[in-house]
Structure 1
């Protein structure tokens, strides 16, 4: 099929043919000195189709132009009526048929031709705004090279088996989600995270289907295939999101179901009262809410598409609208504002009969049976100092909000905060309270260690603050967020030290998982629209209750992609203010488009009753407003670079809360 044939069979075929017929009609009319664009049978083309042959031929061509463009419109109107929907196509169909009956051939041709152009523009625009989805589909891999029976075999990507070894060579697309088991290379992950800088991959690293090798050679163990890949989930999510309706769009559609019959009734009453059929038909044309109908969906599709290109998945139009209203953001400290990789900083011995190795050894072995995130730094530190850490305690008992109690070699070991001492009925703290206070004042997280009911020491860990945490908070404020709240189960002194560094507005410390839900509900009761950023595990209740739940670094989590209201594919703090800014821009464009559409309709109504606005002029202005609405929405597709006002000019090393407090002391 040639390009011309495809073009003619596409949305532009009808207006092209209709337009050519109008041009031929105009040329024939001009050959006898008649204005082809006159209105009424007294001017231009007559009702009786009498006169010179060129004039009669011109009228027939104009009628043909109206029929070519009008028949598809009439068919759409009839199909809509069959399902009890009065669509705007019906307004145009009635006006065009009426114009033909009373001899307004040019008006009929012009109205249907311009309306067909509007349909073609809308179809083309929706395809263009869905370009993000098309690009994602385009990067989906077709083939894979796998190792089978010691040989390299090229197969369809869908035929790769779980745990099979896939080879990724320079320039090839990664066909599956998987783990690197050999080799090194650089992958372009823009299709997943929106990040254009290639990411170095080595043994143990995760890779995603659809990413492209920019060098090196990787052996990958397949963990996700076909519909189970991150790319497939993203495509599914974007497809659903672009079809999901915003509340404003739903309202506009309900409004349209009453507005369109109202315009028909207004035209009928006007025609009966004035006896002016042309005026009634003109009202039908200028009352078409074309720009109003397309104003919201084109904006939503463009906004969600732009987000997808930047690694920001928004669940749908409703969530995009809500995101634009966010006034409070609740953030977990560990893993969000900090790197989430604490390390051991202090071991204080409080039992003179023991030494550092004893305190650290007992603490590390007790924590071996704990799932607490602070267990890992103790175990790693003990292992690095050559202390035994293998094996598990005979018994482990977590104490929610306080710590852990374990039985080791028949001895009872407890590791946790000061309230744990009361839970263990230990009244003599041997100075543990003072040491905990000192370490907390330095921005560290202290834990008391007890052995058989007596305090033997205090260990402390610290986390590093992310280098872009402060800039993220500043950008959130710039984006219109008035309250940034840090939520943490950590010591208040530690939490306040981090808060002072990054600039959050409020600190809620020493929280249990269920307390985070309470904080979110409290913020909502105070009138805030709340976004909660969490990991979806112990934050699940708070994420579900918040107006918008945000998952960060969701590329490795299929559940987060499917369930989060906003999924930030890359673990990048600055994506959060970018997402809120995009939502605000999209809603702003929606409002602008609604204003353009309403002002156009009102101006045309005034123009009709004041005189001077014909059917053709009305439709021309309408399609002009449709084009303006489309162009306005297309602005959202442009990538807007975030201006950094806080990023250091030279790379800064990660800092701990301890560093912050020590600076304050100095």
Structure 2
């Protein structure tokens, strides 16, 4: 019975009840009974069909209990009871489905925002085609007011773009040549041309819809328990109602017991809360990959942050180039030519600085090897380059002079990442790169602490001086630097073994193993990599950390809402059954209260759709009062 059909059935049976009421007042008792029987059979047919379908799937549904009760009421001549029960059940189902639609409104709104066509630049001119016909490599034109239909890089033009569908942020973002745009976003003002590199189901927007759909269909631990409980509970109630009849010899009492004990509100108490909570997250740029993840997040008491791109903006700039034995720009050009093949943000920063200085990058690097957590080696114009940290230099057999190491340390203490460069096994220079802490990072950590997080620490591959500066500024409980990906995994496992419920937040490829190992992994979506997004349980679709604070608070409110619903549902059943056995509640009135409890549970869950975490938190940054076990762990981990 879909929503439209339920509304029609409820309308017809409601009208028939009014007619029966009129016939009663007119003294036409026989005709009144005919109308009540017709109303019961009409609505009961649809209830029975659903009960039969459930039985074929070997499931004992609520509809089965109602069907048995209606048949029994008709047999014993309780026509008013049978007609009222079927009407209330159908009307309750209609109200429930209509209210549930609101909990899925976020997904429906996302689907409604899906672009349907795109303007592609072809040799014959500008051609408008269905979005399914756009292929990778097409050049797509988007004007003011139009939706972006593909993921890709801007090759021409400038525009203000509303990315609310992706990031949850309603303020337009200015983008120009070289910047990436995403399907589902809207051009507020301007004109751009984009080369499509992701189309159709591969776009970020399509993946968001897929993730939300899968998340809303997934089940929490509580839901799985309630499903198993319902399968045992329903046949148990049938047996108990038979026993009630055996001991009381009162058919009406047994039938009332049967219907009133329906676990309708209990069965939907958990899923309706989770659907609403996950929908709220999607509206605010937080993709939670299932109800079970929401439950796990609510229990997190320790958060691990990566540094670059997570706590910092991830858009560093070269602050100084220092060279020994060659001219600065020559060194910078050689390094930039090698780094063109690197996807690391520091490498791309060096390339950007070379282009800013208008240095010609013409040589193709050879024998390029990317060393995770270390840097890279390559051959450029016949010269062997090693670009990275001290560990890489040691592995490459490059000795670091005392004055060079002192210079690098001095730059690191000033908040820079010092990238060491060796040319032909000789240390030739240091490129200093600095990043800025995200403006919302400090307040986010305070919000997390206020909401229940006991420890906040940083694990990073960056140097310890820069990392400690960031940690001190943000008031973190511990900072561990110069770590390889496997070191981060060891830390996560160690902290889990200490009894913490661990969440890991990161954005890079080197974070993916730790994200997968943590109890809950969170990836920075737009700024992050595909691998980290796949490994994560939750994706923050903008680069804003305050989305994490919202997700954490939302998880706690959602789980609390689910618990409230379960308590309300169980309490209603207990009170109703007590009233039935005491002879205070009858079939029609009990059914009314039962349907109202279902509606109340659903309405309580709908409140989650508009939930927003409070922004007022304590201003102080709490520091640990004593050394915790996590700080005592060896840095060699």
2-structure distance, mates of 1:413, 1:537: 23
Matches within 5 A, 1:316-327: 316-327=290-301
CA contact (8 A) 2:20 2:35 kept: yes
* 1:12 and 2:4 correspond: no
User: For residue 511 of structure 1, what is the aligned residue in structure 2?
Assistant: 483
User: For residue 46 of structure 1, what is the aligned residue in structure 2?
Assistant: none
Alpha-carbon distance, 1:272 to partner: 0.5
User: For residue 20 of structure 2, what is the aligned residue in structure 1?
Assistant: 25
User: For residue 485 of structure 1, what is the aligned residue in structure 2?
Assistant: 457
Equivalent residue in structure 2 for 1:195, among 139, 156, 169: 169
> Aligned in 2, Cα 1:252/1:338: closer, same or farther, shift over 3 Å?
same
Matches within 5 A, 1:44-63: 54-63=28-37
> Aligned in 2, Cα 1:591/1:176: closer, same or farther, shift over 3 Å?
same
User: For residue 580 of structure 1, what is the aligned residue in structure 2?
Assistant: 552
CA contact (8 A) 2:508 2:528 kept: no
Q: Deviations over 1:564-583 (max 9, x none)?
A: 32122222111111112222
Alpha-carbon distance, 1:314 to partner: 1.5
2-structure distance, mates of 1:94, 1:368: 73
Matches within 5 A, 1:114-125: 114-125=88-99
SS of 1:640 mapped into structure 2: coil
* 1:444 and 2:416 correspond: yes
User: For residue 635 of structure 2, what is the aligned residue in structure 1?
Assistant: none
User: For residue 68 of structure 2, what is the aligned residue in structure 1?
Assistant: 94
SS of 2:499 mapped into structure 1: coil
* 1:80 and 2:54 correspond: yes
> Aligned in 2, Cα 1:371/1:279: closer, same or farther, shift over 3 Å?
closer
Matches within 5 A, 1:568-647: 568-640=540-612, 642-643=614-615
User: For residue 470 of structure 1, what is the aligned residue in structure 2?
Assistant: 442
SS of 2:60 mapped into structure 1: coil
User: For residue 232 of structure 1, what is the aligned residue in structure 2?
Assistant: 206
Alpha-carbon distance, 1:264 to partner: 0.8
Q: Deviations over 1:103-162 (max 9, x none)?
A: 222221222211112211222122222222221222222333333334333332322343
Alpha-carbon distance, 1:208 to partner: 2.5
Q: Quick check: 436-445 or 306-315, which moved more?
A: 436-445
> Aligned in 2, Cα 1:371/1:305: closer, same or farther, shift over 3 Å?
closer
Q: Deviations over 1:325-351 (max 9, x none)?
A: 2222221101111122333334567x6
Q: Deviations over 1:521-547 (max 9, x none)?
A: 112112222222223522221122222
2-structure distance, mates of 1:426, 1:137: 56
CA contact (8 A) 2:507 2:527 kept: no
2-structure distance, mates of 1:620, 1:312: 38
Alpha-carbon distance, 1:195 to partner: 1.5
CA contact (8 A) 1:418 1:433 kept: no
Aligned length: 619
Q: Deviations over 1:60-102 (max 9, x none)?
A: 2222222222221122222222222111111111111111211
Matches within 5 A, 1:371-450: 373-378=345-350, 381=353, 391=363, 401=373, 414-419=386-391, 423=395, 429-448=401-420
SS of 1:431 mapped into structure 2: helix
Alpha-carbon distance, 1:279 to partner: 1.6
SS of 1:464 mapped into structure 2: coil
CA contact (8 A) 1:147 1:164 kept: yes
User: For residue 628 of structure 2, what is the aligned residue in structure 1?
Assistant: none
> Aligned in 2, Cα 1:9/1:533: closer, same or farther, shift over 3 Å?
closer
TM-score relative to the length of structure 1: 0.85
Structure 2 unaligned blocks of 5 or more: 620-637
* 1:552 and 2:524 correspond: yes
User: For residue 287 of structure 2, what is the aligned residue in structure 1?
Assistant: 313
SS of 1:10 mapped into structure 2: helix
